[in-house]
Amino acid sequence: MPEAGRYTHKKDDGICNSVCGEPTSKAVMAMSRLKCALRGFDFRVLLALLIGVPLVMLMIYAHGQKVTYFLRPIWESPPEPFKIIPHYYNENVTMENLCKLHGWKVRETPRRVFDAVLFSNELDILELRWNELSPYVSEFVLLESNSTFTGVVKPLYFKENRHRFRFAESRLTYGTYGGRFMKGENPFVEESFQRVALDQLIRIARIENDDILIMSDVDEIPSGHTINLLRWCDDTPKILHLQLRNYLYSFEFFLDDKSWRASIHRYVSGKTRYAHFRQTDQLLADSGWHCSFCFRHISDFAFKMKAYSHVDRIRFKYFLNPERIQDVICRGADLFDMLPEEYTFQEIIAKLGNIPSTFSAVHLPSYLLQNFDRYRYLLPGNCRRESG
C-alpha cells in the first residue's frame, strides 16, 4: 500500500510482480508479464496462422492469375460487338453473283494483293499459308529479325530455309531487322518496332493506292476464296476484319470462331499503317483459320513460349518441360495453365477444362490435305510431336 499522503500511478498486478508469492527481479518480471499477455491465448490459433499464411501466399502466387481471369467480368467490360457481314461462297457460283450476294459490284479486273507478315519460326504454317494464297497474291512481303520480341537472339529461319519457298521467289520482297536487345523492356515495344519496319518494307514492295494489303500473323490464314472475293469486288469496305476459325496445336482442337485480328485493307498511301489491333467494326464471317501453336517439334513450342510478347505467362520453369508440353498438347489443355480469356462468367464456365477433339477435316487448307503425309501432325488423331 502507498504511504499516507502519497500518490502512485503505477498499477499493481500480482502475476506480473511475483512468481510463487516471492518478490521478483526485472527479468523474471518481464517473463511474468509475457505469461500475463499470453494468458488465455490459444496456441492452436498461432499454429494455424504460422501454417496458413504461407500456404495462402503460395496459393495466391500459383493461382492468382486464374483468380484474376475468372473475375474479369467484374473489372473489365466486353468490347463493342462487331458488325458481322455474312459471307457467301460456293465454288460453283460465279464471281459476279458472289459479289452481288454481298451487296457489291464485280470489277472488270482484280485488284493486286500484298500479303505481309512478321516471321519468327513457323515454317510449316507459312508454307500452308502461301500455298493457300498463292493463286491470288501479287507480292509476298516477309520481314524477320535476329531477335525475338523478348530480346532473345534467334537464327534467321526463313533465310536458312528459303529454298522451300521457291514457288514464291519471283513475287517475294524479303527483309531483315536487327534486334535492339533491350533487356527488361516490355516485349510489345520490340514488337511495335518490328511492325514499323514491316511498314517500310511494304512500301519498298511498291504497293499502290487501292491495292489489297493483308495484315495478319503467319498463323492467321485467310482462305483463298475470301481473298479472291475481295480482289474482284468493288464497293468493299476500306478496312475489314476477318473472322477466323480458332484452332490450338492442330486442326483437331477447334476452340471457337472468335479470332478477329486479321484484317484486309484497301491501301491508302500515307495513311495505311501495319497494325494488329481493332481498326474497324466490320467483320467478314468465316474467312479462314487461325492455328495457334501449331508446331511439328516440341522444341518449337518451348521456343515460342519464351519468344512471344506474353512471356510473362511462364510462371514456373516446369511449364517448359518437354514431357509436360506433349501431355498438354494431347489433352487439348492450356500450355500456360490459364483460364479462358472471356468477358462473361457464362463463357468462362463453358470453356473450362480441355478442348474436345474434333474429327472433321472438312474445309481445311487444300495444300494441307493434298500433302497430308508431310503435315499429318496437324490433322485430327495425330497429337504426338517430334522432339526437335
For residues 54 and 43, give the distance between their C-alpha atoms in angstroms, rounded to a whole number.
Answer: 17
Helical H segments across the chain, by residue range: 14-17, 26-38, 43-70, 72-75, 95-101, 123-133, 157-160, 187-204, 224-232, 298-307, 322-331, 345-350, 366-370
**Domain-located, residue 8:** no
What number of CA atoms fall less than 13 Å from residue 10's CA on the CB side?
A: 8
Cell matching residue 213: 494489303
Q: Whole domain around residue 347: which residue ranges?
A: 83-378
**Domain-located, residue 304:** yes
What's the N-to-C CA distance of the chain in angstroms? 89
Specify the pairing of strand 254-259 against strand 244-248: antiparallel
For residues 95 and 44, give the distance between their C-alpha atoms in angstroms, rounded to a whole number.
Answer: 79
How high is the pLDDT of residue 10? Answer: 46
For residues 33 and 4, give the distance between their C-alpha atoms in angstroms, rounded to a whole number.
Answer: 29
Cell matching residue 139: 507480292
The three-class DSSP label of residue 132 is: helix
Contact by Cβ (8 Å): 279, 383 = no
For residues 132 and 360, give the distance between their C-alpha atoms in angstroms, rounded to a whole number.
Answer: 19
Cell matching residue 103: 451487296
**Domain-located, residue 343:** yes
H or E stretch including 205? none
Contact by Cβ (8 Å): 244, 259 = yes
**Domain-located, residue 65:** no
How high is the pLDDT of residue 29? Answer: 66
**Domain-located, residue 15:** no
For residues 108 and 252, give the distance between their C-alpha atoms in angstroms, rounded to a whole number.
Answer: 40
Per-residue pLDDT 10s for the chain (388 aa) are: 444 444 444 444 444 444 444 455 666 666 666 566 656 666 677 677 777 777 766 665 555 666 777 788 888 888 999 999 999 999 999 999 999 999 999 999 999 999 999 999 999 999 999 999 999 999 999 999 999 888 889 999 999 999 999 999 999 999 999 988 887 788 889 889 999 999 999 999 999 999 999 999 999 999 999 999 999 999 999 999 999 999 999 999 999 999 999 999 999 999 999 999 999 999 999 999 999 999 999 999 999 998 877 777 888 899 999 999 999 999 999 999 988 889 899 999 999 999 999 999 999 999 999 999 999 999 999 999 998 7
For residues 197 and 264, give the distance between their C-alpha atoms in angstroms, rounded to a whole number.
Answer: 19
Cα radius of gyration (the chain): 31
**Domain-located, residue 201:** yes
| Number of domains comprising the chain | 1
CB-CB neighbours of 68 under 10 Å: 12
- Residues 128, 133, 139: CA angle, nearest 5 degrees: 115
Grid cell 467484374 in the structure block, residue:
74
**Phi and psi angles of residue 294, each rounded to the nearest 5 degrees, phi first:** -100, 80
**Domain-located, residue 18:** no
How high is the pLDDT of residue 25? Answer: 63
**Domain-located, residue 155:** yes
